[in-house]
Amino acid sequence: MRVLIPAAELARRVAELAGRIDADYRLVGDGGGGRRGHRPRAQDDPLIAVGVLKGSVFFLADLLKRLRVPVAVDFLQTASYGAGGEHRGEMRIRKDLDLSIRGRDVLLVEDIVDTGFTARTILDLLRHRGARSVRLCALLDKTAARQVEVPIDYRGFAIENVFVVGYGLDHGERYRNLPYIAVWQAEGEPPATAPTAPTPPTSERSISGMQFHHTDQAPAAIGPYSQAVSVDGWLYTSGQVGLDPATGELVAGGFEAQARRALENLRQVLASAGCGFSDVVKATVYVVDLADFPRLNALYGEAMAEHRPARSTVQAAALPRGALVEIDLVARLRPGAG
Ligand code: IMP
């Protein structure tokens, strides 16, 4: 069997998704979104994570271990695939939820969205039961197999249209316990023990030809945006502030420490698309106090070395998370990168 997604890559992506879910659900209202003015989520109003048995259990367990928002867990089981991996063209509930979801924020956690019938039906059911909000988190997305539209709010990996096993996914109830995702090939063939395929790219390409970049070396996007998007040979980064990717918190040490970290985050985002500071053509710098500008200039100059991209500087009344400096970049992709 060919390893499609190694265990380390699964762990990396699960952590990223957990970071986004945490950020979106830390406040109550509209299914998260982190809008100002909404109250912090109380322990007695947990997010309800609904796992679809049996395939999602490994993913669900790893994801929930990384969540910091109050969360309750429940399970649903449907029957749509036969033991041989064949679609029966119908879906029924084999095991229903134990918890009431009326008025609650619900996160449906799926192993894989294939034709989309299962997720679509369950999402409709959960909404029908009066949930305050319902979102879908799916580890794998076989976009080419889709027959009904299903918006995936948190997507682990887009994969090719092949039958996969491992990390909860089975073929005839076998291979669920593989710690990686592999492409199923033939009964009886021993599963691969080491990755045989390169690490999947840290980017996803949409129909419009845009590519969305992620790296866990920079803070995960904490809202409906990407760390960077490339299109037509250009890379556009989101603004980076001095958040530490490991903790999700602003680094201690004031302006200089934040500026260094923001630049380091940008360096990592550029690297994830195969570029560096020497490829930057335009930078926009936002500072809360223009008096800090000379210090920014020194650090920025160090990062850019002899390179001198175009730049705009703006004094902003406030920046996200109370940051003192934010920077975004436009860079030219190197041939063959991004
Ligand atoms: P859908 O209704 O076609 O989207 O199918 C979703 C369900 O089919 C998943 O929750 C899995 O149980 C199963 N499934 C779809 N593709 C695969 C696969 O490649 N491997 C294992 N199970 C799969």
Q: What is the CATH number of the domain that holds 211?
A: 3.30.1330.40
Q: What is the CATH number of the domain that holds 154?
A: 3.40.50.2020
Q: Is residue 136 part of a domain?
A: yes
Report the separation in Å between the CA atom of 292 and the middle of ligand 1, taken as the mean of its atom positions: 54
286 lies in which domain range?
Answer: 204-332
**Integer Cα distance of 261 and 250 in angstroms:** 9
- What would the two tokens of residue 177 be? 């316990």
Task: For the chain, list the strands marked E by DSSP.
Answer: 2-5, 47-53, 71-81, 87-95, 105-113, 133-141, 154-158, 164-165, 181-183, 203-205, 211-213, 228-231, 234-237, 280-287, 310-315, 325-332
Domain end call among 166, 197, 228? 197
Q: At residue 211, what are phi and psi to the nearest 5 degrees? A: -120, 135
pLDDT in tens, the chain (338 residues): 788 999 999 999 999 999 999 999 988 765 544 454 567 888 888 999 999 999 999 999 999 999 999 999 999 998 754 444 444 456 778 899 999 999 999 999 999 999 998 999 999 999 999 999 999 999 999 988 898 999 999 999 999 899 999 999 999 899 999 999 999 876 555 444 433 333 333 555 554 678 888 888 899 877 788 899 988 889 999 999 999 988 888 999 999 999 999 999 999 999 888 889 999 999 999 999 999 999 999 999 999 988 999 999 999 999 999 999 999 999 998 776 54
Is residue 95 domain-shared with residue 172, that is, in the same domain? yes
Is residue 102 domain-shared with residue 217, that is, in the same domain? no
Taking CA atoms only, the protein residue closest to ligand 1 atom 19 is 163
Is residue 25 domain-shared with residue 111, that is, in the same domain? yes
Q: Is residue 187 part of a domain?
A: yes
Taking CA atoms only, the protein residue closest to ligand 1 atom 22 is 169
pTM: 0.58
Q: How many domains does the chain have?
A: 2
Q: Is residue 104 part of a domain?
A: yes
Half-sphere exposure of residue 135: CA atoms within 13 angstroms, side-chain side: 17
**71-81 and 87-95 as β-strands: parallel, antiparallel, unpaired?**
antiparallel
Is residue 248 domain-shared with residue 317, that is, in the same domain? yes
**Integer Cα distance of 78 and 53 in angstroms:** 7
Report the separation in Å between the CA atom of 99 and the middle of ligand 1, taken as the mean of its atom positions: 25
Q: Is residue 338 part of a domain?
A: no
Domain end call among 153, 172, 197? 197
Q: Is residue 250 part of a domain?
A: yes
Is residue 324 domain-shared with residue 235, that is, in the same domain? yes
User: What is the amino acid identity at position 276?
Assistant: G
Q: Is residue 337 part of a domain?
A: no
Question: Is 124 a residue of the active site?
Answer: no
Q: Which residue has the tokens 């049996």?
A: 54
